Structure 1
Amino acid sequence: MPEIQVLNRQVAELIAAGEVVERPSSVIKELVENAIDAGSAVVTVETQRGGRSYMRVTDNGCGIPPEQVPTAFLRHATSKIVTEADLDAIGTLGFRGEALAAISAVSRIEMLTRTKDAELGLRYSCLDGLHPETEEAGCPQGTTITVRDLFFNTPARMKFLKKDVTEGNAIAGILDKIALSHPEISFRYIRDGKEVLHTPGDGKLSSALYAVYGKEFSASLIPVSYNLQGVGVKGFISKPAASRANRSMQNFFINGRYIRSRTASVALEEACKGAVMAGKFPACALHLELGKETVDVNVHPAKMEVRFANEQPVFDAVYYGVKSALREGDSPKVMGLNQSRSYEMPPRKVVPITSISPSGGLEEEPGRPLLLKDSAPEQPVPAETPTVQTETKEPSSVQTEPEAPPSLLPEPEPEISVPRLSRAYGDGKLPAVKREPEGFTPLVENALENRPAAESPQAEAAPLPLPEIPLEESPQPVFDPLPLEAAQTEEKGEAPSLLGERAFHGKIIGEAFGTYILVEHSPQALMLIDKHAAHERLIYERLKAQGPNGEAQALLEPVPVSLEKEEYSAVTANLSRLREAGFEVEDFGPGTVLVRAVPLLLDGGDGAAALMEIAGYLAQQKATLTTQHMDWVYHNVACRAAIKAGDVTHPEELAALCRQLEENPQVRYCPHGRSVYVLLPRREIEKQFGRV
């Protein structure tokens, strides 16, 4: 057994430094907290290469007297506490006396400091971790600490550092939290020569939030101010509509210190339950004020975790404070009479009506507008563009477009238009399909006879992913809306579907709960189809088949999207892969990207929202867009582009969806794993009625 011996000072300090200095962001956190404790009004942070090679923190605080500077670099040397009793009521950010000693043990450090009354300051440098040097130097009041070559003497620690971008993001994240914890201090962060953060230091939390998270986030905040059982809660929460994909923007501060608190986080989310969508998380910046003796911050050297003497008052204060704020602040905007807005409606195209001649051709009847039904007398068409006035007052004060006479309204026969499904097929027309019956029939028969579907040759005929299906060209312009009578074919007098060459050969009974399509596909079974799951899977297969050649549509007006620091870096590092998925994104300054194009299946708003979710996912996974992650992107886009449960769906759309499933019988589960359809055998139905 090796002999037990006391470690030498250098080895002991390297071990101790590992508890305090884990990465560059740990150094910045300790130095900035010391600057705050020194009473600084302005703090400037500069880094290069994510802090690996260079970090500098400058403040205008009280400075350190020259004779105390060498002592400040010794372990357990501090001005914050003196006796054991001081640990029971800690009011400063630092108190352990370990930061400077730990940093100097693993880097080359230099300090310039001067007090208010001194004519000259002091330069203290320790470039090898062992032999410090001091000399007088001219400098402004305050302290400047420069750290170079972090972990130069501990290569084992150096190799565990991440990419420069990742380490820089971690520093930016820490500074964001500290800036929100002390809005009365002006913080400035210069990263690789570029300013990425500058708070005004006016003492207003709203100003700090604007500087950290941007205009869009700041505009969606609800103020919180509440006191309960000696616990004060003050700050802001996001409106439910502005909830995030993760908890990275939940900021809690206790007595001016940023902390991670599961108690406060659970209270926040419980208070927002029912207002925030499932899978989303509210954002916040909440300052909690409570007695210093009721909270213990001496839990870990990083001082990010705390213990409460009693957690219930903290939970209750956050819960009821947020509940009260939501009740009072999350109300819809109301427009007064002097805030009316007018919306110009585009002029309708008037096309001469046509009728069917006995020979089957189309004849033009000049002087008559194109109507859905030809049963109405001739009506004049207004020449000017109609304007809709919208006001939020009494219902009688709302001006709307005059209703058309009953004779001009169509019969309750659905229009042939596909506002959602058609987007899944590029130019508004769904693909041509084979005329031979195939698809569901073998699956139904196999299911009813308890045979595996793989035995059916039809079930094996359509491989994944879906092939690119050629689209039929329309021989003439399609008017909107297209009259059913004018669209009859020459041979059979039947209206051809804009959704394909033939109709779905099963019998669509209808739709239940706005979600499930009821299909009588064979004499032996009913089929219930989840329309969202089915549409989502079909779109997903198409996106996956396109691969890096994803179709995109340019936006008329580019959409700026504000992102958190880590999300912003994750997006800007993956611009080329996002382009493959159909997102044309460019850097638009710190914390903001500009969306110029989105996947063809999405509109601008959905595309921007999808990009925010992708950004949150990448920041949380801390990964680049590999093939595996691109699959997640396809899932996200498909889910947003698909018909939603509860949407009003035209019968033609339902038929098109059923036909596409018929063409692709292997589509049985949505990308999330939910069943696309289930079978209800006729025998089971008849059992319920006592027929068998």
Structure 2
Amino acid sequence: MSKIVILDEKTANQIAAGEVIERPASVVKEMTENSIDAGATQITVEIRNGGVSYIRVTDNGSGMEADDVEMAFERHATSKIRRIEDLGGLATMGFRGEALASVASVSRMEVSTKTAQDQNGINLRTEGGKVISLSQTGCPTGTTFIVRDLFYNTPARYKFLKKDATEAGYVSDIMERLALAHAEISFKYIQNNQVQLHTPGNNDLLSVIYSIYGKEIARGVLPVDYENEGIGLSGFVGKPEIARGTRGRQSIFLNGRYIKSHIITGALEEAYKTMLMQNKFPFCVLLLKVSPESFDVNVHPQKLEVRFANDRTVYSTIYNGVKNTLLGASLIRSIETAESPAGLQKPEKNAGTFARNQETLAGAGTRLQTGIPPKVHDFKTELPGLGQASPFKRAHEEAAPAENAVLRESPSHGQVQNAAKKTEKKEFTSEYAALMPEPAGSPVGEPELSLYNVPVTKETSLNQLQEAFIVGQAFDTYIILQNGDNLFIIDQHAAHERIRYETLKLRLEKGENFSQGILEPFIIKLQAKEFNFAMEKQGAFQKLGFDLEAFGPNTIILRSIPDIYDSSFSVSDFHEILDRWIKTDSSDSGISDETLYMMSCKGAIKANRPLSKEEINNLVETLCSMENPFTCVHGRPIIINVDKKEFEKKFKRIV
């Protein structure tokens, strides 16, 4: 007797359903995508008990003709394609013709549908994939699917479902992704008779973000609009302060379809490099528009995976689009003060820390003057090239000579200001709001967006910073500047670290030599692994300014060091650099970014270091010329802003 048999239709359908339908969220996804393909502008999804007992999807799309309703429940029955060549230009969400048959085979299902041309609609009921009734019915134009008792006939699959609340969470995630991908459609999501999400369908993506994530996220996003080699990129990315510890708030859509792609997430996170702290991931809602011929989603029935014809172009589009957005915006963080818990008193033992560096006020109306130590530290001369012969400035002068403004200190009050009017730079504007009010009295997820502000550009915020005057230094660590109603607080170590990093990076790119000889060379004993690595990377060490060569078994002699270090450089400093480089080395022969991070941090000015007015001017001026003056190389903020209103709230001038 033959051991090989052909499976019966019921068994085959239920096995196939396992590829497409894993849980209630899979049903919602398939049914809702059908509604989108039908041209719906309003879609309502309702679930009960996590979607296990009841799912309803109602739309106002084109509906199905009477002759097509029963055929739609056959396997591989579809209106999307006719032959394999049609896949190349496919623009719909679905095309396999498996969804309805798969869902019907593991549930009790009902569909009511009508086209605009038909006077009556059609109602069809199935149970376990078999049609049990087909009749005319009265219904509006569009389609309503009702799925009951999911997996009632497949107990093995039913028992692996999670709790109702968990399954409902999966459905919520699907609905949020669909709403973000299609801001032109009004989505209404009802869970156990309560509206959980309702989007306006006005094609305003920011409204959808606000409906889903709330005001904090909506006011912390930046619009993206970029095109590269036929690939369009739009949407929003988050400022560093709204980054989270997981990638759960990263939504990437390809032609309206939610996808997962290591290429895209890699490019996104590379664009944020040095802007986020370790183990933090950026927020994003990115919409890619790509020609259907340039990618393939027919990898898996769930269509989450995608293959691109040109990975490099996609990577560069994401990286450059996001990077340009971040570099064009102000990333200065604002502080909103909070009341201290009742009964708690702040210790006053450090109350004189700030005052000890201040001179007595001469009289009413005079500004605070800093008591400046006699020694002035020049950050420009510390980093050769940051002064008049700055390679960073030279590079900018070659591109746009008129953009470079000479910064000087106002003798009257230590003001850091522009002495030359800058020419127009590349603007970064948006029609979207940076601040929005809370929705008052509106349904869940229906924000009332009435206040629209253009996000502050990088140029505007740095102009404000340069025109501010020096108030002083707090705790010998934080520089305090004031401009109008804004108080800017700068972490001096983080600022100097950023300056050192970008300068190192630029000088390396230009191939400059920045080694300095040392009077007494270091002879350093290494382990065999360390010695071999140092010899392998000898050329790269030379580029960094380290002149080293073998000096016996597992021993090197170090004759020069980078000129960013002073005489305090020691053998232990070299060991730290070597250890970090070994730990973060990649397969190429280049210098790891992590090595540059450590070199930048190691020699930067530290906390608890008093600075003179001239040093503060010097530091702020140089910081403002950096590509990214807002975060240190580890992603910590350099500048924060406190508005006058926050002080007035604390002193109860504003209640």
TM-score after normalising by structure 2: 0.53
Question: Per-residue deviation at 1:212?
Answer: 1.4
SS of 2:195's equivalent?
strand
Q: Aligned partner of 1:7: which letter? A: L
Task: State the partner residue of 1:136.
Answer: 136
Task: State the partner residue of 1:124.
Answer: 124
1:272-319 Cα offsets, whole Å, 9 max, x none, are 010011110011001111111001011110111111111110000000
1:447-486, aligned counterparts within 5 Å?
A: none
**Aligned: 1:219 with 2:219:** yes
Task: State the partner residue of 1:339.
Answer: none
Q: Distance in 2 between matches of 1:96 and 1:120?
A: 29
Q: Distance in 1 between matches of 2:215 and 2:148?
A: 35
Task: State the partner residue of 1:495.
Answer: none
CA, structure 1 residues 209+119, in 2 after alignment: closer, same or farther (shift >3 Å)? same
1:490-639, aligned counterparts within 5 Å?
A: none
Task: State the partner residue of 1:60.
Answer: 60
**Aligned: 1:115 with 2:121:** no
1:147-171 Cα offsets, whole Å, 9 max, x none, are 0000000000000101111110000
CA, structure 1 residues 392+334, in 2 after alignment: closer, same or farther (shift >3 Å)? farther
Question: Per-residue deviation at 1:193?
Answer: 1.0
Task: State the partner residue of 1:332.
Answer: 332
1:625-669 Cα offsets, whole Å, 9 max, x none, are xxxxxxxxxxxxxxxxxxxxx7769xxxxxxxxxxxxxxxxxxxx
Q: Aligned partner of 1:162: which letter? A: K
Q: Distance in 2 between matches of 1:648 and 1:397?
A: 18
SS of 1:162's equivalent?
coil
Q: Distance in 1 between matches of 2:122 and 2:7?
A: 32
Q: Distance in 2 between matches of 1:314 and 1:193?
A: 42
Q: Distance in 2 between matches of 1:322 and 1:80?
A: 34
Q: Distance in 2 between matches of 1:647 and 1:138?
A: 75
Question: Per-residue deviation at 1:128?
Answer: 4.2
Q: Distance in 2 between matches of 1:157 and 1:247?
A: 29
**Aligned: 1:31 with 2:26:** no
Task: State the partner residue of 2:170.
Answer: 170
Q: Aligned partner of 1:58: which letter? A: T
Q: In angstroms, what is the RMSD of aligned CA positions?
A: 3.6
Question: Per-residue deviation at 1:28?
Answer: 0.3
Question: Per-residue deviation at 1:87?
Answer: 1.1
Q: Distance in 2 between matches of 1:290 and 1:396?
A: 49
1:108-257, aligned counterparts within 5 Å?
A: 108-257=108-257
Task: State the partner residue of 1:271.
Answer: 271
- Give yes or no for contact 1:38–1:63 (8 Å, CA) kept in 2: yes
- Give yes or no for contact 2:241–2:333 (8 Å, CA) kept in 1: no
Q: Aligned partner of 1:237: which letter? A: V
- Give yes or no for contact 1:223–1:329 (8 Å, CA) kept in 2: no
SS of 1:132's equivalent?
strand
Task: State the partner residue of 1:85.
Answer: 85
**Aligned: 1:103 with 2:103:** yes
Q: Aligned partner of 2:169: which letter? A: N
Q: Aligned partner of 1:87: which letter? A: L
- Give yes or no for contact 2:43–2:60 (8 Å, CA) kept in 1: yes
Give unmatched runs, 5+ long, in structure 1.
336-345, 350-369, 373-379, 402-511, 514-645, 650-692
- Give yes or no for contact 1:239–1:330 (8 Å, CA) kept in 2: no
Q: Aligned partner of 1:212: which letter? A: I
SS of 2:111's equivalent?
strand
Question: Per-residue deviation at 1:26?
Answer: 0.4
Q: Distance in 1 between matches of 2:176 and 2:52?
A: 20
- Give yes or no for contact 1:334–1:392 (8 Å, CA) kept in 2: no
Q: Distance in 1 between matches of 2:326 and 2:142?
A: 43
- Give yes or no for contact 2:105–2:127 (8 Å, CA) kept in 1: no
CA, structure 1 residues 64+212, in 2 after alignment: closer, same or farther (shift >3 Å)? same
Q: Distance in 2 between matches of 1:393 and 1:291?
A: 53
1:553-592 Cα offsets, whole Å, 9 max, x none, are xxxxxxxxxxxxxxxxxxxxxxxxxxxxxxxxxxxxxxxx
Q: Distance in 2 between matches of 1:34 and 1:156?
A: 28
Question: Per-residue deviation at 1:371?
Answer: 11
Considering Cα pairs closer than 8 Å and 6+ residues apart, tell me whether 1 or 2 has the greater RCO.
2
CA, structure 1 residues 333+279, in 2 after alignment: closer, same or farther (shift >3 Å)? closer
CA, structure 1 residues 299+334, in 2 after alignment: closer, same or farther (shift >3 Å)? closer
Task: State the partner residue of 1:668.
Answer: none
Q: Distance in 2 between matches of 1:221 and 1:347?
A: 35
Question: Per-residue deviation at 1:397?
Answer: 8.9
1:359-379 Cα offsets, whole Å, 9 max, x none, are xxxxxxxxxxx999xxxxxxx
Q: Distance in 1 between matches of 2:144 and 2:136?
A: 14
Question: Per-residue deviation at 1:123?
Answer: 0.7
Question: Per-residue deviation at 1:230?
Answer: 1.6
Question: Per-residue deviation at 1:129?
Answer: 3.0
Q: Aligned partner of 2:69: which letter? A: V
SS of 2:325's equivalent?
helix
Q: Aligned partner of 1:29: which letter? A: K
Q: Distance in 1 between matches of 2:157 and 2:98?
A: 19
CA, structure 1 residues 647+192, in 2 after alignment: closer, same or farther (shift >3 Å)? farther
CA, structure 1 residues 397+231, in 2 after alignment: closer, same or farther (shift >3 Å)? same
- Give yes or no for contact 1:110–1:125 (8 Å, CA) kept in 2: yes
- Give yes or no for contact 2:47–2:56 (8 Å, CA) kept in 1: yes
- Give yes or no for contact 1:222–1:330 (8 Å, CA) kept in 2: no
**Aligned: 1:318 with 2:318:** yes
Q: Distance in 2 between matches of 1:334 and 1:175?
A: 32
Question: Per-residue deviation at 1:47?
Answer: 0.3
- Give yes or no for contact 2:101–2:129 (8 Å, CA) kept in 1: no
Q: Distance in 2 between matches of 1:235 and 1:244?
A: 19
Q: Distance in 1 between matches of 2:180 and 2:193?
A: 23
- Give yes or no for contact 2:269–2:282 (8 Å, CA) kept in 1: yes
- Give yes or no for contact 1:183–1:204 (8 Å, CA) kept in 2: yes
- Give yes or no for contact 1:188–1:199 (8 Å, CA) kept in 2: yes
Q: Aligned partner of 1:264: which letter? A: I
Q: Distance in 2 between matches of 1:295 and 1:371?
A: 64
Q: Distance in 2 between matches of 1:196 and 1:58?
A: 16
- Give yes or no for contact 2:224–2:234 (8 Å, CA) kept in 1: yes
Q: Distance in 2 between matches of 1:220 and 1:115?
A: 43
SS of 1:245's equivalent?
coil
Task: State the partner residue of 1:366.
Answer: none
Q: Distance in 2 between matches of 1:165 and 1:100?
A: 25
Q: Distance in 1 between matches of 2:127 and 2:118?
A: 26
Q: Distance in 2 between matches of 1:249 and 1:9?
A: 41
Task: State the partner residue of 1:281.
Answer: 281
CA, structure 1 residues 267+399, in 2 after alignment: closer, same or farther (shift >3 Å)? closer
Q: Distance in 2 between matches of 1:170 and 1:334?
A: 34
| Ranges of 4+ aligned residues in structure 1 off by more than 3 Å | 346-349, 391-401, 646-649
CA, structure 1 residues 168+393, in 2 after alignment: closer, same or farther (shift >3 Å)? farther
Q: Aligned partner of 2:191: which letter? A: R
1:320-343 Cα offsets, whole Å, 9 max, x none, are 1111001002343799xxxxxxxx
CA, structure 1 residues 288+134, in 2 after alignment: closer, same or farther (shift >3 Å)? same
SS of 1:329's equivalent?
coil
Give unmatched runs, 5+ long, in structure 2.
336-344, 354-359, 369-412, 417-467, 475-567, 570-605, 610-655
CA, structure 1 residues 347+61, in 2 after alignment: closer, same or farther (shift >3 Å)? closer
TM-score after normalising by structure 1: 0.50
Task: State the partner residue of 1:44.
Answer: 44
1:201-229 Cα offsets, whole Å, 9 max, x none, are 11011111111111111110011111112
Q: Aligned partner of 1:308: which letter? A: F
- Give yes or no for contact 2:253–2:288 (8 Å, CA) kept in 1: yes
Q: Distance in 1 between matches of 2:415 and 2:221?
A: 26
Question: Per-residue deviation at 1:396?
Answer: 4.4
SS of 1:224's equivalent?
strand
Question: Per-residue deviation at 1:127?
Answer: 2.9
